[in-house]
Amino acid sequence: MAARAPGSTPSPGRPARPVRSAYQTLRDPPDTDPMRCCHADFALAEGSDRGFTVGMPTFTFGPGVLAEAGDHARDLGMKRVALFTDRRLVSGEYVARVHASLRAAGVGVTVYDAVRIEPDDGSFLDAARFAADGRFDGYVSVGGGSVIDTCKAANLYATHPADFMAYVNAPIGEGRRVPGPIRPHIACPTTSGTGSEVTGIAILALRAINAKTGIISRQLIPTIALVDPDVTRSLPAAAVASTGFDCMSHALESITARAWPRRLNPAKGTSRPVSQGANPFSDLLATRALELVGQFLVRAVADASDTEARSEMMYAAMLAGVAFNAAGCHLPHGLSYAVSGLTKNWQVPGYPDDRSLVPHGMAVVLNNPSVWRHTASAHPQRHRHCAHCLGADVAHVGPGDEGEALAARVIDLMRATGMPNGLAALGFDEAQVDDLATGAEPQYRVIKNAPVDIGRDELRQLFRAALRYW
Ligand SMILES: NC(=O)c1ccc[n+]([C@@H]2O[C@H](COP(=O)([O-])OP(=O)(O)OC[C@H]3O[C@@H](n4cnc5c(N)ncnc54)[C@H](O)[C@@H]3O)[C@@H](O)[C@H]2O)c1
Ligand SMILES: [Fe+2]
């Protein structure tokens, strides 16, 4: 979409009036819209990029669409695929359905189920070796973000071999550009939160620094996403809650990120990064995702037979995935990577019980209220809008109270879904605030996408304020 700087071109037969750029006319909201004064956020500035790019796969959403995997694989010319999944899902009905569909289409299938939940560099490398040895002409993933991300990484390293750190985000890795397309990938998500089926992102825990980082490239965006909400029937309540908060935070961070014309180091054309900051397209999708989360998250967690609520959460996750892929995450995700790396002893029902593990969405939501209280002054209307979309009554929220309104609504949702009461519940206290801040600092890529500048002192302050909420 081409962005034009605002001007005043008279239109034939009508009085001259200021012409808005194409992206601004996408949002021509009524006076009651809390985002009405946000157009200025996207005004072009001297030296700023002139356009933003949104990448996404061809996606199909609907109950039963897993059975279409074979049809798509054949259409993509796949003859021998690697089917990635995890050890819990491998013997279940979703993998069976996709496997049967591929076989019926005449596609050969080799299953890889050694995916690590919350993958690390070791598990990515194992998967990459399997992929390189198999010389597959296509990939299919059936699982949550752990499975889909592992499949993306295996496909990348098998197609364009390199040292592991070459493609890992700078400054932790080299951040080398992926040199070209990778093999086609059909992604079938079985959780409702990460949106990995529509993103060019693969997240891993890097053991050497005990923190999470990622590989990001438009080339990693799956070719086809088959989003079948039927799969959420078997999701444990804790996974619905954690992944639902991941989705919520993707949407909140998209809307409150630094606006795209304000991003640092604006590269253009094919060098434009995957995630460029808040933009009108992400705003639209993230807004709808937040409305769905506000309406359906608590119901979806409470009742596995509530098909409507679980389906709407699946849809919200996909919308928020497209939104944050283009806009980028910021502080809640940046901070979460230190939390998940430093938590010593934590287990959650429905997740592997052989090691300490903080589900990604849980680590993310625990920092949320603290962040919104801090960032609201940069974009009060956007924070107010988010609180409103999530279901808060913002009629009496006065100037200066927008961050508190959003934080309070997120805390309501946390309490209604059994989330821990802040980082203290995971065993952190004041003495570890420094370690947490040190752990978050390498997350420069996401932290610089925040709407306010953040240094070591602010990181300490954010973690301290996230220790306890009620
Ligand atoms: N690539 C991206 O854009 C992106 C975005 C956000 C998060 N992530 C990453 O994704 C990972 C987390 O993924 P996740 O939250 O989807 O969960 P997950 O893949 O880690 O799975 C969590 C647990 O749920 C189980 N499970 C999955 N689907 C199920 C189903 N339908 N029924 C029953 N059990 C099921 C799994 O076996 C596992 O035990 C993290 O590593 C996170 O950093 C990636
Ligand atoms: Fe996330």
Kindly state the percentage of the chain with pLDDT values over 90: 83
Note the residue count of the chain.
470
Question: pLDDT for 206-251, tens place per residue?
Answer: 999 887 889 999 999 999 999 999 999 999 999 999 999 999 999 9
Residue 14 has a pLDDT of 36
Residue 25 has a pLDDT of 30
Phi first, then psi: give them for residue 111, nearest 5 degrees: -90, 135
Cβ(222) to ligand 1 under 6 A? no
Cβ(36) to ligand 1 under 6 A? no
Question: pLDDT for 49-91, tens place per residue?
Answer: 889 999 999 999 999 999 999 999 999 999 999 999 999 999 9
Lowest-confidence range among 38-47, 101-110, 323-332, 456-465?
38-47
Cβ(358) to ligand 1 under 6 A? no
Cβ(282) to ligand 1 under 6 A? no
144/128 Cα distance (integer angstroms): 18
Cβ(151) to ligand 1 under 6 A? no
- Which of 148, 190, 358 most suits a substitution to test ligand 1, by most atoms within 8 Å of the C-beta? 190
Kindly state the percentage of the chain with pLDDT values over 70: 92
Residue 447 has a pLDDT of 92
What is the average pLDDT value for the chain, to the nearest integer? Answer: 91
Is 411 or 31 the better-scoring residue by pLDDT? 411
Three-class DSSP category at 63: coil
141/262 Cα distance (integer angstroms): 36
Whether pLDDT at 36 is above 60: no
- Please answer whether residues 367 and 332 qualify as being in contact, where contact means their C-beta atoms are separated by less than 8 angstroms: yes
Residue 6 has a pLDDT of 28
Question: pLDDT for 395-404, tens place per residue?
Answer: 999 999 999 9
225/41 Cα distance (integer angstroms): 32
Cβ(340) to ligand 1 under 6 A? no
This prediction's pTM:
0.93
Question: pLDDT for 317-364, tens place per residue?
Answer: 999 999 999 999 999 999 998 999 899 999 999 998 899 999 999 999
Whether pLDDT at 34 is above 90: no
Q: Which ligand is nearest to the CA of 203?
A: 1
Q: Which residues surround ligand 2, an ion (CB under 5 A)?
A: 246
- Residue of minimum CA distance from atom 38 in ligand 1: 351
**Nearest-CA neighbor of 418 among 470, 356, 352?**
470
Q: Which ligand is nearest to the CA of 201?
A: 1
Mean pLDDT value of segment 300-313? 98
Q: Report CA(360)–ligand 2 centroid distance (Å).
A: 7
Q: Each residue of 223-258: b (16+ CB within 10 Å) or e?
A: bbbbbbbbbbeebebbbbbbbbbbbbbbbbbbbbbb
Q: Report CA(321)–ligand 1 centroid distance (Å).
A: 14
- Atom of ligand 1 at shortest range from CA of 94: 31
- Please answer whether residues 42 and 207 qualify as being in contact, where contact means their C-beta atoms are separated by less than 8 angstroms: no
**Pairing relation of β-strands 138-143 and 80-84?**
parallel
Residue 211 has a pLDDT of 79
Cβ(202) to ligand 1 under 6 A? yes
Cβ(117) to ligand 1 under 6 A? yes
- Atom of ligand 1 at shortest range from CA of 205: 41
Cβ(143) to ligand 1 under 6 A? yes
Task: Bin 28: left if φ > 0, else alpha if -120 < ψ < 50, else beta.
Answer: beta
Cβ(402) to ligand 1 under 6 A? no
Q: Which ligand is nearest to the CA of 248?
A: 2
Question: pLDDT for 183-193, tens place per residue?
Answer: 999 999 999 99
Structure token pair of residue 380: 């009060």
- Residue of minimum CA distance from atom 23 in ligand 1: 351
The residue type at 19: V
> Helices in 360-443 by DSSP H: which ranges?
360-365, 368-375, 380-389, 402-416, 433-440
Cβ(240) to ligand 1 under 6 A? no
Structure token pair of residue 377: 């002054």
Question: pLDDT for 115-129, tens place per residue?
Answer: 999 999 999 999 999
Residue 267 has a pLDDT of 86
189/229 Cα distance (integer angstroms): 9
Residue 153 has a pLDDT of 98
Whether pLDDT at 166 is above 50: yes
- Residue of minimum CA distance from atom 21 in ligand 1: 144
Cβ(328) to ligand 1 under 6 A? no
Question: pLDDT for 430-442, tens place per residue?
Answer: 999 999 999 998 8
